[in-house]
Amino acid sequence: MDEQDLQRQVALTDQEVDTIGEVSNIAMGSAATALSTIVGRKVEITTPQVSTVNLDILKQGEEGACIAVQVVYTEGLEGVNLLLIRQRDAAVLVNLMMGGDGSNPPQDLGELELSAISEAMNQMMGSASSAMATFFGTKVGITPPTMIPRLLDLDPQALPREFSGEPLVRIAFHLTVEGAIDSKIFQIMPVSFARRLAAKSHRQSQNLVSTATPSRGRETAPPIPPAEPSRASGQGRMEPTLEAETQVPVAQPAQFAPLVPKGGKNTMGNIDLLLDVVLQVTVELGRTHMPIKEILGLGPGAVIELDKLAGEPVDLYVNEKLFARGEVVVIEENFGVRITEIVTPEERIRSLNSTEGKGG
């Protein structure tokens, strides 16, 4: 089946296509803001182009070698979609995250590089879901996004099961990173999920219209009958003329004050979308490895020796990512942490692999 036959079979309406593009554009605009913060450069993700494809067309298309992050919507929406980024663009982003200028990206994406791009894409999709929640006026819940490195060659075995046996909707966006990338980024979802997305947006629009429309009982005042043509009355008064009652107003162009950005040039315009995102903050005193037989032998009063020295700073994790270090303090009857050091982006990325590899 070629692409034209597929388009006829699926037959998304023009309204559905426009709605899907609009919602995706809002979500990816917020994702661009998150990515801009991570790489320290201006990022734009614009111009969504919605089309229907199957897996064979997708493999032969313009995506090329890609890596992907899978996002499962669990609340407000139900379904799964993928965010695909070209491998060469991912390498440039990793170079920028490591403090480079994007001109010397790594040739191969190893475990460290994949961890870095996974962190960036996770933050992008978290920001995108928050923007969708604002647009729909309801909570939109997602599971933690998961990396699919095997999707480098669009391996069918690596795709989520929801993508099998169903046409797919591809949304291609224009991706630009200041001075480094001028490319495309792709969002892939099953047609059924895309239709649910369009239907939810349509219902939200109807609710807004019904809320703004006044009730019939207070719609308008009864019409005033037009006055009769001018004639003299018995008391010598003149009746108002029809022409005086129906003067045509003169339209004039509206004058608007110039738009002045607040907060200077470095202010992120969409940063407010991220302020209500809830993150998990964890303070780690230390770790250790123990055989199962020793764990089963633990009881009240047992002492476990950790891998940190007395007085050494504790680690502060945000969403399981190392963020800072500090010292333990007591605030009234509660423990607290006084931050003494913010880790660098390079150290934060290096900590991902060591964090995943440690136990207990």
**Percent of the chain surpassing pLDDT 90:** 8
- 322: CATH: 2.30.330.10
Domain boundary among 160, 190, 207: 207
Pairwise CA distance, residues 126 & 142, whole Å: 8
Mark whether 312 and 193 lie in a shared domain.
no
Residue 10: its pLDDT value, please?
Answer: 57
Mark whether 201 and 301 lie in a shared domain.
no
Domain boundary among 182, 207, 232: 207
**In-domain check, residue 293:** yes
**In-domain check, residue 229:** no
Burial 74-84 (b: 16+ CB within 10 A, else e): eebbebbbbbb
**In-domain check, residue 83:** yes
- What are residue 46's DSSP bridge partners? 174
Confidence class of residue 171 from pLDDT cuts 50, 70 and 90?
very high
What are the tens digits of pLDDT across the range 1-47? 444 544 445 568 888 888 898 888 998 999 999 899 888 899 999 88
Mark whether 148 and 16 lie in a shared domain.
yes
- Which of residues 165 and 194 earns the better pLDDT score? 194
- Range with lowest mean pLDDT among 41-45, 165-169, 189-193, 253-257: 253-257
Mark whether 15 and 161 lie in a shared domain.
yes
Please provide the average confidence, as pLDDT, over all residues in the chain.
76
Residue 360: its pLDDT value, please?
Answer: 42
Rounded-to-10 torsion of CA 183, 126, 83, 52? -100
- The mean pLDDT value for 127-131 works out to 87
Q: Is the pLDDT of residue 267 over 50?
A: no
Retrieve residue 213's tokens: 């429309």
Confidence class of residue 353 from pLDDT cuts 50, 70 and 90?
low
Mark whether 62 and 189 lie in a shared domain.
yes
Segments forming the whole domain that contains residue 113: 3-207
- C-beta of residue 273 within 8 angstroms of C-beta of residue 127: yes
- The mean pLDDT value for 177-193 works out to 90
**Percent of the chain surpassing pLDDT 70:** 69
SS3 category, 339 = strand
Q: Is the pLDDT of residue 255 over 70?
A: no
Question: E-assigned strands of 231-311?
Answer: 281-284
Mark whether 284 and 188 lie in a shared domain.
no
Whole-model pTM over 0.75 = no
- 84: CATH: 3.40.1550.10
**In-domain check, residue 193:** yes
Mark whether 317 and 172 lie in a shared domain.
no
Domain boundary among 207, 231, 259: 207
| Residue whose tokens read 């139900």 | 78
Mark whether 33 and 151 lie in a shared domain.
yes
**In-domain check, residue 223:** no
What are the tens digits of pLDDT across the range 194-246? 888 888 887 776 665 555 555 444 444 455 455 444 444 444 444 444 444 45
Mark whether 25 and 136 lie in a shared domain.
yes
Pairwise CA distance, residues 105 & 110, whole Å: 12
Residue 256: its pLDDT value, please?
Answer: 55
Mark whether 178 and 83 lie in a shared domain.
yes
Confidence class of residue 178 from pLDDT cuts 50, 70 and 90?
very high
**In-domain check, residue 173:** yes
Pairwise CA distance, residues 305 & 296, whole Å: 16
**In-domain check, residue 261:** no
- The mean pLDDT value for 35-60 works out to 82
**In-domain check, residue 191:** yes
Mark whether 198 and 296 lie in a shared domain.
no
Q: What's the total number of domains in the chain?
A: 2
Mark whether 95 and 180 lie in a shared domain.
yes
